[in-house]
Amino acid sequence: MQDTKLYNFLKQISLYLSTSLIGPWRRRCIGLISLLIGFYLGSNLTVYFLQEVKQRPIVVLVMLIIIEVLIRLRSRVKNSEWPLYWLAIDNIRIGTVYSLVLEAFKLGS
């Protein structure tokens, strides 16, 4: 393969997926469970806070701000080997974003 931007991007994605889904069983289990917990939290928190606040866009905006803060914190750590708690936080974040996007598709907005 030639060393193009697309190839480097795909290589980074495969490296990330391989670190969270391939490896010791503890790392795989924490990665999968935290992904599912993030999906559960994202889908349930929007519904719960929607009933409390009555404004879905505000709830989603606050959740996205929290997610962006987590991304900024993660980018400050420059390790080649991620600790398990960063893997869990990152997968919770990914599961939450996935649930928000899925909720938007369900609502048709």
- What is the per-residue pLDDT across 44-54, written as a single tens digit (0 to 9) for each? 877 777 778 77
For residue 26, what are its two tokens? Answer: 């503890």
Name every residue whose Cβ is closer than 8 Å to that of residue 42 and which is 6 or more positions away in sequence: 63, 95, 96, 97, 98, 99, 100, 103
Check residues 7 and 27 and name the one with the higher pLDDT.
7
| pLDDT over threshold 70, residue 80 | no
Exposure on the CB side of residue 39, measured as CA atoms within 13 A: 8
- Domain range list for the chain: 5-107
| pLDDT tens per residue, range 89-106 | 888 888 988 888 887 787
> CA-to-CA distance for 94 and 87, rounded, in angstroms?
10
In percent, the amount of the chain with pLDDT more than 90 equals 7
Q: Is the pTM above the cut of 0.75?
A: no
pLDDT of 20 reads 62
